[in-house]
Chains A and B, each alone.
Chain A
Amino acid sequence: MKKSSIKLAVAGLAALSLVVASCGGSSSSTDTTAAAAATTDECVTPTPVKLQLQWFTQAQFAGYYAALENGYYTDMCLDVTILEGAVDITPQTVLANGEADFAISWVSKALASREGGANIVDIAQVFQRSGTLQVSFKDAGIATSADFKGKKIGNWGYGNEFEIFAALTKAGLDPAADVTLVQQQFDMSGLLAGDIDAAEAMTYNEYAQVLETMNPATGALYTADDLNVVSYEDEGVGMLQDAIWADGSRLADAEYNATAVKFVAASLMGWAFCRDDAQACTDIVVGKGSKLGATHQLWQMNEVNKLIWPAAAGVGMIDEAAWTRTVDLSQNAKNLEGGTVLTEAPDAEAYTNEFVTAAHALLTEKGIDINGASFAPIDVTLTEGGN
């Protein structure tokens, strides 16, 4: 009895070592070392990873939730915990303090933290385009940023206002004299009440809020035809937004380095899944306890997809031109107090495409489309209140 069980164990061990050996053999054939570390199939104890978001659970972060829900992180031997943001939580500070392993943050804000001494590195530029708009009613006649002259322009402050100032400067307007800048709440009531002529809005959130509101004049919802939209991306002053940031001081550590590749790869896989099935991703986010209505989330998912896809150089790749533009604007666009986001250009270590490149190798191996060239947004019909 006892003997046979030992025999069985030996046989099992032998079989296991064979499996391990064959895995080692297959992964050594790939050329990048980081990818080799990531493709190892065995997973004894998953690496715990904490991801800090900028805000509550919503479709803006759907890719990470999809990767979590669909087991992409588990497949990469990662045990990922997603930490929600809040009013007073600054992701890049949480990351720099070592409370999280990765964080999602806008490039300009994170670079400001980096200039302040936080050693954080952009390792994947998930959103390739800026989603900031200036929304106004048609009768205000604001079609481009040049039309801001003499108008009441809403802005959120807290470092979210620099695209507005960049656009004003570009249009040859003096922010202090030519426009009235109004501090705006994070909703659109100022625009609807007429306190603001043009309100700052994200394509994926506040813009939808207007379209979810009843127009008292018609008794139906406001439509895109009622509104003028100035897109800062189209105005040429778009600044890079949601990116995955890593702890620069730990990147030299081989284990963290390998984790970063796996994390980026699985996250991008999540985003690819959301591109192909916006509805499924919306359901995941709603299932994670988001309080925003389902159609609002679907809208958000679709708009976020537009900011990511198509990705000519591959999803997550940091485009040097866009990076340089963001840095330039961060240095040169002055707000009312004459302040800029950055006083000097960040060093070359502020971003790296090393991890995205390694992640792309993994994804291509898995047959995942990293460009989404054929991506077509869906049509979302909004309902009152987004419910």
Chain B
Amino acid sequence: MNRFARRAAYRTSMFVLSIVLVVALWEMYKVVGPQDGGKLFGAGVLPRSNDTAMPHVWTMLSRYGRPEVRGSDKRVWVVVLEGAWFSFRLSIVGFLLGSSIGVGLSILMSRFRIVERGLLPYLVVSQTVPLIALAPLVALWGGKLSIFGIEWPRWFSAAVLGAFLSFFPITVGTLRGLASAPAAAVELMESYAASWKQILLKLRFPSAIPYMIPAFKLGASGSVVGVVVAEISTGLKGGIGRLIIEYAREATADPAKVFTAVFGAAALGLTMAGVIAISDVYLMRNRPKETTS
């Protein structure tokens, strides 16, 4: 077994172990925790451990195998998977949009200091606007706006909100990364009469990658959060956010059902992080070559 495969096996087993640990903790709390919650000075401190608040893990898992509603031949796992896939595609669109905006802005800001000074405060302010205040506004663009003759579809509003959350960390991370090229190296390039574009592509971007990868990871999870919240807020049909809120309405009588959708959302976030991790491995593999050459 080579080193790479061994590491992969180790990582997988750790991942499985962590899930087993969480499951064990959950079930242990159900055994020892107070049924109706623990109170300290009249305020609820310990969560309730009864079956409505915390269904058994096997109840939740078996819920996946049962039909979504009686008489429907669609099982919950199919519905959740479809919802997650729908939201995943939106998140990817939002992430791509957010990263192009983010990288574009950071190039602009690194090129012109005045843009950075003028724009950065507004970018910070933009992130303090609550997403749920923005969501209905952006949702209304659906079916109303058309750009170059292409009508703005409703799903695109959710993707835009995903982009809204993802572009900021990417902008800041890339900006910091672009500025990280050693001054001596920049001066050397300049002494060779390298153009701004050449310096950007050959020096600044390669040295920015270690800063960009974590920024893109943040951006990717931001995109997922943005899309799911937008789905909840605007009721966009088909996604995991909509499923969460639809199933939450049945929380009284069918508490396990809500968790199936919540796990779907978690899996979605993990998948998204996984996609970035793969690109991380790919980009970083080229790294030594660049630094040694």
Contacts and interface: CB of A to CB of B under 8 A. Distances in A.
B104 interface: no
B140 A293 contact: no
B237 A194 contact: no
A212 B52 CA distance: 13
Q: Which 3 A-B pairs have the closest CB atoms?
A: A86-B235, A387-B70, A385-B254
A144 interface: no
Interface string B228-259: 00001111110000010111111111100100
For A193, A210, A295, the residue with the greatest tally of chain B CB atoms inside 10 Å of its CB is: A193
B132 A88 contact: yes
A213 interface: yes
Interface stretch (A184-192, A333-341, A357-365): A184-192
A292 B249 contact: yes
B280 interface: no
Nearest to A387: B70
Contact of A187 (B70, B144, B252): B252
For B237, B246, B250, B253, the residue with the greatest tally of chain A CB atoms inside 10 Å of its CB is: B253
B54 to A, nearest CB: 12
B82 interface: no
Contacts of B252: 187-189, 192, 206, 209-210, 212-213
A129 B70 CA distance: 31
A88 B68 contact: no
A386 B50 CA distance: 21
Bin chain B's interface residue count: 20 to 34
Given A194-B36, A294-B69, A387-B70, A189 B234 contact: no
Contact of B253 (A84, A90, A194, A385): A385
Given A187-B252, A192-B252, A89 B70 contact: no
Contacts of A212: 252-253
Interface in B30-77: 36, 48, 50, 52-53, 67-71
Contacts of A210: 252
Interface residues of A, number: 36
A99 B140 contact: yes
B274 interface: no
Contacts of A87: 132, 232-235, 245
Interface string A177-204: 0000000001111001110000000000
B65 to A, nearest CB: 14
A94 B68 CA distance: 32
Interface in B183-236: 232-236
Given A187-B248, A214-B253, A387-B69, 8 more contacts: A86-B234, A86-B236, A89-B139, A89-B234, A94-B140, A189-B252, A292-B249, A294-B70
A249 interface: no
A292 B234 contact: no
B136 interface: yes
B52 to A, nearest CB: 6
A85 B70 contact: no
Contact of B246 (A56, A88, A206): A56
A187 B70 CA distance: 21
B70 A88 contact: no
A189 B251 contact: yes
B135 interface: yes
Given A87-B235, A291-B68, A293-B69, A193 B248 contact: no
A100 to B, nearest CB: 10
Given A192-B52, A193-B36, A292-B250, A88 B69 contact: no
A293 B70 contact: yes
Contacts of B236: 86
A97 B135 CA distance: 16
Contacts of A116: none
Interface string B112-138: 000000000000000000001001100
A55 B68 CA distance: 20
B246 A291 contact: yes
A79 interface: no
A89 B71 CA distance: 31
B140 A86 contact: no
A250 B135 CA distance: 27
Contacts of A192: 52, 252
B233 to A, nearest CB: 4
A383 interface: yes
Contacts of A213: 252-253
B16 to A, nearest CB: 32
B144 A99 contact: yes
18 contacts: A84-B235, A85-B235, A86-B233, A87-B233, A88-B132, A88-B234, A90-B136, A97-B140, A99-B140, A189-B251, A192-B52, A193-B53, A209-B250, A213-B253, A289-B237, A292-B246, A386-B254, A387-B69
Interface string A70-88: 0000000000000011111
A209 B68 CA distance: 17
A213 B255 CA distance: 10
Given A99-B140, A291-B68, A291-B69, A386 B250 contact: yes
A89 B136 contact: yes
Interface string A204-246: 0010011011100000000000000000000000000000000
A69 interface: no
A240 to B, nearest CB: 24
Contacts of B234: 86-89
Contacts of A295: 70
A384 interface: yes
Given A293-B70, A294-B71, A384 B52 contact: no
B225 to A, nearest CB: 16
B131 to A, nearest CB: 10
A193 B52 CA distance: 9
Nearest to A58: B249
